[in-house]
Amino acid sequence: MKKKKNGIALAPIDALPEDLLLHIISFLPTLEAIRTCLISRKWRTLWHSLSSFHFDFNLFPPSDSFPETRDSFTHYVTQTLSLRSPQSPLHYFGLRFYFTEQHHYDIVPSWINYAINHGAIELDLDFHGYSDFSELDSDCCFYFLLEPLIESSVRVLRLHSCHLGFPDTITTVPIVSLQTIVLANVLLMDDWVVWLISLCVNLESLVIEDCFGPDNLKLCSTKLKELSIWNFEDDPEPVDSVEICAPNLCSLSIVCLEMGTFSLECSSSLIEAKVVYSSRSKQFEYWSKVVRSLPGVMSLTTPNWWFELLQTKDALPEGFALNNLVYFDMETVYNKNDMKGLAAFMELCPKLEMVIMDYYDDKDDDVRSQHHSSFFKLVPRKLKTHLFPTDISF
């Protein structure tokens, strides 16, 4: 029976089409989506047709001990997949699970293969996904096998805390479907990165975050459009070299990546870049290596370290200018040197239209200077829009 509110007839949620109800509960963690079966008779088997499954160990009700909770969780995942309607399309399969013991080598791959065999488009897998792991320790690491992806529908692959297992036929059989790969805390040896890119022939977006292993990182691809490299953890020494050759690369992010040499070739398509390092005194040399390789970008996000760059001998090539830069987003401490650096930087940007400035609290910097109206003398007339943080008063 329809109710009325302010003269408008309101239908009960059960009256909504089944496709819409499925879309709504697909945003819930799978455990909560299953619990909707208690709402009414119509909802009893509705979740069987879900196209999105997210199994999160952190959200699973704990038992008396961690092993008991883990065993209950594995049973829950296995049972849920067995009850799912095999005719329903599967778009997303997410898993957060703390992988610690060998006997899970049979169970976990069976879940992944189920998702692949049922046409999953997106795999999001975290094998260290337990928020309270401080008392747990294990040398067991999950090997994610790439071979099942060769004839799959998977377009997006996110992996956290595992090793990669390459197929024996890597040189002859490519993975055609994959377009986006995100790797976090994954072992990456030099050759593995080259193999991965050559194997995934249509790869357009690659994120490498907190990974470890490489000495010479080489990323060469004619299809790659977006590249993001965030740090390399557990490596006491910087990476010897980073070489990027991607003629169709549009977006590049380099965050806290320490390297001996940095090379960016065939970058005419690059329009957007983000270069962020945490400590000016320790990481300026790495920041400057990247920044001076970006003369053609239109959008740049980076801390305001231009004074140091401009004062360093041979830091910039002769005639260097950011001739295409329109949008500049920076963090700054507003001290005297930063303001001088910003003014000199703007002379390198004939087309600059917008600057966004955020306060950057760097304890290694000089004492922050007083703000006053004379700062506006540093802003060129060509600048159309200039934004300041709301907590700054002039």
How confident is the model over 46-70, as pLDDT tens digits? 777 778 889 988 888 888 888 888 8
Alpha-carbon distance 95 to 380, whole Å? 52
- From first CA to last CA, the distance across the chain in angstroms is 62
% residues pLDDT > 90 (the chain): 36
Task: Name the packing angle between helices 66-83 and 104-117 (round to 10°).
Answer: 30
Is residue 20 situated within a structural domain? no
**Among 110, 108, 115, 111, residue whose Cα is nearest residue 52:** 115
**Among 282, 284, 231, 222, residue whose Cα is nearest residue 253:** 231
**Among 40, 85, 34, residue whose Cα is nearest residue 61:** 34
Q: 307 is in which domain, residue-wise?
A: 294-394
How confident is the model over 22-32, as pLDDT tens digits? 777 777 778 77
Alpha-carbon distance 275 to 306, whole Å? 13
Number of domains in the chain: 1
Alpha-carbon distance 46 to 48, whole Å? 5
Question: What is the per-residue pLDDT for 308?
Answer: 83
Of residues 116 and 267, more confidence is placed in: 116
Asked whether 21 and 44 are in contact (CB, 8 A), the reply is no
β-pairing, 122-126 with 143-145? unpaired
Mean residue pLDDT across the chain? 81
- Confidence label for 283 from pLDDT (cuts 50, 70 and 90): confident
Is residue 268 situated within a structural domain? no
Is residue 370 situated within a structural domain? yes
Question: What is the per-residue pLDDT for 281?
Answer: 72
- Confidence label for 367 from pLDDT (cuts 50, 70 and 90): very low
Is residue 178 situated within a structural domain? no
**Rounded average pLDDT over 267-287:** 87
Task: Please list, in sequence order, all residues whose beta carbon lies within 8 angstroms of the beta carbon of residue 196, skipping any fewer than 6 positions away.
Answer: 146, 164, 166, 181
% residues pLDDT > 70 (the chain): 78
Task: Please list, in sequence order, all residues whose beta carbon lies within 8 angstroms of the beta carbon of residue 365, skipping any fewer than 6 positions away.
Answer: 280, 333, 335, 338
Residue 38 has pLDDT above 80, yes or no: no
For residue 166, count other CB atoms closer than 10 A to its CB: 14
Amino acid at 207: V
- Confidence label for 122 from pLDDT (cuts 50, 70 and 90): very high
Question: What is the per-residue pLDDT for 227?
Answer: 97
Question: What is the per-residue pLDDT for 235?
Answer: 59
**Rounded average pLDDT over 101-105:** 69
Residue 16 has pLDDT above 50, yes or no: yes
Residue 305 has pLDDT above 50, yes or no: yes
Concatenating the DSSP letter of every residue in 272-313 gives EEEEE-S-HHHHHHHHHHHHTT-TT-SEEEEE--HHHHHHST
Is residue 352 situated within a structural domain? yes
Question: What is the per-residue pLDDT for 380?
Answer: 45
Concatenating the DSSP letter of every residue in 101-166 gives -TTHHHHHHHHHHHHHHTT-SEEEEETB--TT-TT-------EEESGGGTTS---EEEEEEEEEE-
How confident is the model over 210-238, as pLDDT tens digits? 888 888 999 999 999 999 999 876 556 78
Question: Which residue do the tokens 């590249």 mark?
Answer: 227
Concatenating the DSSP letter of every residue in 232-263 gives ETT-SS-EEEEEEE-TT--EEEEES--EEEEE
Question: What is the per-residue pLDDT for 384?
Answer: 47
Alpha-carbon distance 345 to 309, whole Å? 10
Q: Both tokens of residue 45?
A: 């088997």
How confident is the model over 149-198, as pLDDT tens digits? 999 999 999 999 988 988 876 567 899 999 999 999 998 888 899 999 99
Is residue 53 situated within a structural domain? no
Residue 363 has pLDDT above 70, yes or no: no
Range with the poorest average pLDDT among 1-5, 62-66, 267-271, 302-306: 1-5
Is residue 214 situated within a structural domain? no
Burial class (CB in 10 A: 0-12, 13-18, 19+), 102: exposed
- Confidence label for 339 from pLDDT (cuts 50, 70 and 90): confident
Question: What is the per-residue pLDDT for 345?
Answer: 86
**Among 47, 56, 111, residue whose Cα is nearest residue 85:** 47
Is residue 139 situated within a structural domain? no
